[in-house]
Structure 1
Amino acid sequence: MKYLSIVILTFCLLLSVTLEAQVNTGSNKIYRVSFKDKKNTPYSVNRPLEFLSQRAIDRRIRFGIPVDESDFPVNPAYLDSLRKAGAQILFTSRWMNSATIKVDTITVIRQIRQYAFVTEAVKVFSSTDSERVDVLPYPVTDTETAGLNYGHAFRQINMLNGDFLHEKGFQGQGVVIAVNDAGFWKVDRLSLFKNMFDENRVKMHVNLIRGDDSVFKDHTHGTYVLSVMAANIPGFMIGTAPKAEYILIVSENGSNEYPVEEEAWISATEIADSAGADIINSSLGYSEFDNPAMNHTYNELDGNTLRISRAADIAASKGLVVVSSAGNQGSKEWKYITAPADADSILTVGAVNAKNEYAPFSSTGPSADGDVKPNVVAMGWGTVAASLEDNKLELISGTSLSAPVITGLTACLIQAFPNKNNMEIIRAIEQSAHLYPFPDHLMGYGIPDYKLAYEILSLSQTPSDKTISLLKIYPNPFKNGLNISFFSKEKSTVSITLYNLIGKKINEYSTEVNANSFNREIFKINGILRPGFYFLELNDGKTKVRERLVAY
């Protein structure tokens, strides 16, 4: 193959475990074995380069995150004992302190359950014939292109003001995006991705299902997902992070659905962390399985019960931004989000169409413990993505496609503010969304505005004599009311007043704000305004800011 995966030396031990064996879906004897501890581990917090890349260590230092025992790989002695008993190691989880194994006979698992260092051994796969269809491709027939050379992808980026970030030079340079998916078929051959390979921006690829690095031979799902971010043919299609670096990991078996894939997802996420990723895109979700006895319940989707969701939150605790699709269950009996979308410290993404309307298939919230889910939405109904035929595109629907719209633009925001931690980045994105601070269970906080998110983050770190800054007023022209977004430097009472051109006060009210806070107010108009020009003023007693508006 022309383009080879880059295997960093410090990951040799990790990959020797995760690549040891292929997940053979013909077997019905795959188990997840959990360990009691990491006692007598050969690893030390004083030698982190033995199990983390320098980039991963730098992320922890930048955000004040200590290296601790959860970063240690599973004790090699425990894995050796499993092998001696007759088990084959498929992959491991350092965070969950477990291994997913394949055994030939039930006798082997009975022996393993007797080990003092083993707390449980749970079956996570039983074979059946099943296949899922995740996305609905349709050929793109409209050949008209829009400005900024985005080609057919213009609407899905412009909807979120993502082109603002790109125009400022933030296109993902130096940011590493890990993509957990089912396969990236033909990505190494399609022209849409040529620039990414030419610039050596595929930093690593690994297939946990096959047990090798052959990510370009299987499923098409990841091809669609990656194209939304990485495509780079001006005038035809440009993605949301066309200059980012990518780690491609196959953790999903596209032909069936079993909990073993959740274990693979956990391992994939740990690989992404260790390799130094900044952000993870997961257009995968789990709730119902081919064996109904293994199904999750809605009550389990509380962000704390399911292993995959706990792992997503652990990734967030390590400083990564984790972006998860909400799921495509909105019009089905299940209807709710799927794991790990219930994790409370990640960004869960639902779907809308090109007219900003909720997509009926998009899974709904809240999580079982009441968290706002999805957090935000993006274009996932008729999203432009790669075709498997070169030099063509498809329109594809699913939250699998809205998630990478958000992931790519979030990578650009991370590039713009490298010293803002993941929670600050997520909070700014939520605050910029059109329904904030009044989320619902269909769209969460709504459609983000990445220009506004950029301004929120800028104001929070830029010294200024102004105690209040007006960020956004919409709609303008207006008729019955206004949405007003502003930043307050100090705790104060802010008066918001509407004047006509001759200075007559039309309407006024006051609101209490906290120091260093982003605020959004809905300003209602009493009565009927005459068409014409008006001024809106914000005043906290120290700073006055004004904006001219048009009523119709």
Structure 2
Amino acid sequence: MKKLLLFIVFIYSSISVSQEHAWVYLADKPNSVSAIANPISILSQEALDRKAAHNVIIDFRDVPVDENYITQIKAQTGITVSAKSKWFNALHVIGTQADINALTTLTVNGVNIVSSIDFADDSLNTRVSQNLNKHDVEASFTSFNYGNAANQIQMFNGDDLHLADYTGTGMTVAVLDAGFPNVDTMNGFQRLRDNGGIEGGYDFVDRNTDVYAYQGNSHGTWVLSDMAGFIQDQFVGTAPDAKYYLFRTENAATETPLEESLWVEAAERADSLGVDVINSSLGYTTFDNPNYSYTPAEMDGNTAYISKGANIAHEKGILVVNSAGNSGNNTWQVVGAPADATGVFSIGAVNAAGTYASFSSQGSSAQPTQKPDVVAQGQASYVILNNDVISTLNGTSFSSPIMAGGIVCLWQALPSFDNDQIMQLVRESASQYTTPDNFLGYGIPDLSLALAQGLSIVEFENENTTLKIFPNPVINQLTIQIPSQFEEAEVRVYDVLGKKVIQTTVSATNKTINTNPLAKGVYLVKIEAEDLSVIKKIIKN
């Protein structure tokens, strides 16, 4: 009997080991022409509005995978369909090598529906294919008392954006992570829930709509707190008034290629819902099955399935923010996928003093663009744990949402900009923009500077008079150039509490105002003359 049991166990182990992961790429989408002609049938109105605002075309990739093809493949012997991607027109399947290869002969109405197959185990492919990676789970004016979270937002002057009433209102963020237990009950998210800030969610791992049900990992809860958490006078996230979708794509108990496919599914869902920004504190480098693992050289921005998916999300107008990874201290060392992708804004980590955190993954010559892009506080970052305790944790998993929230607020202030323009503004504002390196990338951003630069661009592009206010940010002297038809204009400057701090007049010959006595912060400048009344926000550095 004991021998029989051992034999059965051996057979079961052999069957288990023989199960392979693969992407099955389909030949076409039979109804794509009619779907593109009637886009509301495949995308929400919010998604259509966002694409129109940023001149993003609706194309073949927006059309869902054909349901009849999915049904046919599910019916094949030994095949489990675990995920799908409309962007790639692909299915993630699990089965034996023989059963998966047999799909190449599958036809519908006499036409072969499979164009190619890529196994996650590269040795099973007849050509170079995609492989996969690993997760970084680590252990008017608005005035907030940030409490413990003050340093991590003040480091990049995100609090200046809040003072200017840019707190994420009107922006939508999708958080792709490993678990969101207690977000529906915690005091730390009470303000978010009361404001209707959670738009919805989905658990792609367990395939259910209760994104809070999975209690096995709290990583997503911690990450969300850095953007949306609020405890009066103790903690404020960097985008507390944005709307959020919560998507569980990571199974922290295992590391398989399926998680990449689930991530792409969630990104596609985010796109269809009109999401502006994705925060993903996830990364993939190696897997439980070493045959599926990547090499550092393959972190080239376009090898991993997830990186290619992230690039498509970027093409669709979404700004994807991703943690760089926590491999700086180990043999892997380099930024992982999807943070290696050109279209992803990857965030490294520094400590509270702004010094490189040794665990933060480093850029590589294999990557076509500078990685990481920028850094934020990721060492001893404050988060709200799922029992409402404020604590510190280490990892780029936290520098990413801290920075993502700031970027959300910046984009709120500059709605006419596209994702590329916002990312470039942030890079150009950073502390070592002219001398980037593989540790800090372009450095620590200054979002007040990025906002001022963006506002000056908008003012210049939309200017219909000769009224100009510069420089912004200002240090000692503000220049106001009024239209030539006015002899003079009255100028009043108000602080964040509405108190008038300067009142004077300007003219063609007297254009300057001394701002040296003003404290650092955001101010309103009101300029009035006959038939002229203009209010501008300025930042005093």
TM-based fold match above 0.5: yes
Residue among 184, 187, 199 paired with 2:183: 187
User: Deviations 1:54-85 (Å, cap 9, x if unpaired)?
Assistant: 11111111111111111111122211211222
Where do residues 290-439 of structure 1 align in structure 2 (5 Å cutoff)? 290-366=288-364, 368-390=366-388, 392-439=389-436
Q: In structure 1, what is the equivalent of residue 497 of structure 2?
A: none
CA apart distance, 1:174: 1.3
Structure 1 Cα separation of the partners of residues 365 and 238 of structure 2: 28
Instruction: Verify the 8 A CA contact 1:309 1:341 in the aligned structure 2.
Output: yes
Q: In structure 1, what is the equivalent of residue 205 of structure 2?
A: 209
Q: 1:388 to 1:547 in 2, by over 3 A?
A: closer
Letter in 2 for 1:425: I
Residue among 96, 114, 138 paired with 1:135: 138
Q: Any idea what SS the aligned residue of 2:35 has?
A: coil
Q: Any idea what SS the aligned residue of 2:436 has?
A: coil
Letter in 2 for 1:447: I
Q: 1:368 to 1:436 in 2, by over 3 A?
A: same
CA apart distance, 1:544: 11
Q: 1:81 to 1:424 in 2, by over 3 A?
A: same
Structure 2 Cα separation of the partners of residues 387 and 222 of structure 1: 10
The alignment yields a C-alpha RMSD, in angstroms, of 2.7
Structure 1 Cα separation of the partners of residues 337 and 390 of structure 2: 30
Instruction: Verify the 8 A CA contact 1:282 1:325 in the aligned structure 2.
Output: yes
Q: In structure 2, what is the equivalent of residue 144 of structure 1?
A: none
Residue among 42, 60, 84 paired with 1:69: 60
Q: In structure 2, what is the equivalent of residue 142 of structure 1?
A: none
Q: In structure 2, what is the equivalent of residue 152 of structure 1?
A: 148
CA apart distance, 1:42: 7.4
CA apart distance, 1:192: 0.3
Q: Any idea what SS the aligned residue of 1:314 has?
A: helix
Structure 1 Cα separation of the partners of residues 469 and 228 of structure 2: 38
Q: Any idea what SS the aligned residue of 2:349 has?
A: strand
Instruction: Verify the 8 A CA contact 2:237 2:405 in the aligned structure 1.
Output: yes
Q: In structure 1, what is the equivalent of residue 115 of structure 2?
A: 119
Q: Any idea what SS the aligned residue of 2:458 has?
A: coil
Instruction: Verify the 8 A CA contact 1:124 1:260 in the aligned structure 2.
Output: no
Q: In structure 1, what is the equivalent of residue 445 of structure 2?
A: 448
CA apart distance, 1:286: 0.7
CA apart distance, 1:305: 2.3
Q: 1:200 to 1:91 in 2, by over 3 A?
A: same
What TM-score does the superposition give when structure 1 sets the normalisation length? 0.75
Structure 1 Cα separation of the partners of residues 20 and 334 of structure 2: 30
Structure 2 Cα separation of the partners of residues 467 and 224 of structure 1: 44
Q: In structure 2, what is the equivalent of residue 230 of structure 1?
A: 228
Instruction: Verify the 8 A CA contact 2:136 2:325 in the aligned structure 1.
Output: no
Letter in 1 for 2:222: Y
Residue among 450, 454, 457 paired with 1:457: 454
Structure 1 Cα separation of the partners of residues 333 and 73 of structure 2: 40
User: Deviations 1:115-140 (Å, cap 9, x if unpaired)?
Assistant: 22213344449xxxxx988223xxxx
Letter in 1 for 2:271: D
Q: In structure 1, what is the equivalent of residue 490 of structure 2?
A: none
Structure 1 Cα separation of the partners of residues 168 and 82 of structure 2: 33
Q: 1:26 to 1:111 in 2, by over 3 A?
A: closer
Q: Any idea what SS the aligned residue of 2:191 has?
A: helix
CA apart distance, 1:37: 2.6
Letter in 2 for 1:311: G
CA apart distance, 1:401: 0.2
Instruction: Verify the 8 A CA contact 1:364 1:441 in the aligned structure 2.
Output: yes
Structure 2 Cα separation of the partners of residues 41 and 133 of structure 1: 37
Instruction: Verify the 8 A CA contact 1:132 1:255 in the aligned structure 2.
Output: no
CA apart distance, 1:28: 3.8
Residue among 51, 63, 76 paired with 1:60: 51
Instruction: Verify the 8 A CA contact 2:136 2:397 in the aligned structure 1.
Output: no
Structure 2 Cα separation of the partners of residues 471 and 93 of structure 1: 45
CA apart distance, 1:306: 2.1
User: Deviations 1:76-100 (Å, cap 9, x if unpaired)?
Assistant: 2211211222544322111111012
Letter in 2 for 1:214: D
Structure 1 Cα separation of the partners of residues 344 and 512 of structure 2: 37
Structure 2 Cα separation of the partners of residues 173 and 472 of structure 1: 23
CA apart distance, 1:106: 5.7
Q: 1:158 to 1:228 in 2, by over 3 A?
A: same
User: Deviations 1:394-413 (Å, cap 9, x if unpaired)?
Assistant: 10100000000111111111
Letter in 2 for 1:426: M
Instruction: Verify the 8 A CA contact 2:342 2:368 in the aligned structure 1.
Output: no
Structure 1 Cα separation of the partners of residues 245 and 255 of structure 2: 23
CA apart distance, 1:473: 9.1
CA apart distance, 1:545: 12
Q: In structure 2, what is the equivalent of residue 267 of structure 1?
A: 265
Structure 2 Cα separation of the partners of residues 336 and 471 of structure 1: 37
Q: In structure 2, what is the equivalent of residue 49 of structure 1?
A: 40
Structure 2 Cα separation of the partners of residues 288 and 246 of structure 1: 30
CA apart distance, 1:304: 2.2
CA apart distance, 1:41: 4.2
Structure 2 Cα separation of the partners of residues 211 and 297 of structure 1: 31
Letter in 2 for 1:360: S
Q: In structure 1, what is the equivalent of residue 3 of structure 2?
A: none
Residue among 81, 91, 95 paired with 2:87: 95
What TM-score does the superposition give when structure 2 sets the normalisation length? 0.76
Q: Any idea what SS the aligned residue of 1:424 has?
A: helix
Q: 1:241 to 1:132 in 2, by over 3 A?
A: closer
Q: 1:133 to 1:347 in 2, by over 3 A?
A: closer
Q: 1:65 to 1:134 in 2, by over 3 A?
A: closer
Q: Any idea what SS the aligned residue of 2:412 has?
A: helix
Q: In structure 1, what is the equivalent of residue 100 of structure 2?
A: 109
Q: 1:212 to 1:42 in 2, by over 3 A?
A: farther
Letter in 2 for 1:348: S
Structure 2 Cα separation of the partners of residues 269 and 65 of structure 1: 16
Structure 1 residues 367-376 or 167-176, which shifts more? 367-376
Structure 2 Cα separation of the partners of residues 263 and 255 of structure 1: 17
Structure 1 Cα separation of the partners of residues 514 and 185 of structure 2: 54
User: Deviations 1:466-523 (Å, cap 9, x if unpaired)?
Assistant: 999545699x9xxxxxxxxxxxxxxxxxxxxxxxxxxxxxxxxxxxxxxxxxxxxxxx
Q: In structure 1, what is the equivalent of residue 25 of structure 2?
A: 34
Structure 1 residues 78-87 or 89-98, which shifts more? 78-87
Structure 1 residues 299-308 or 430-439, which shifts more? 299-308
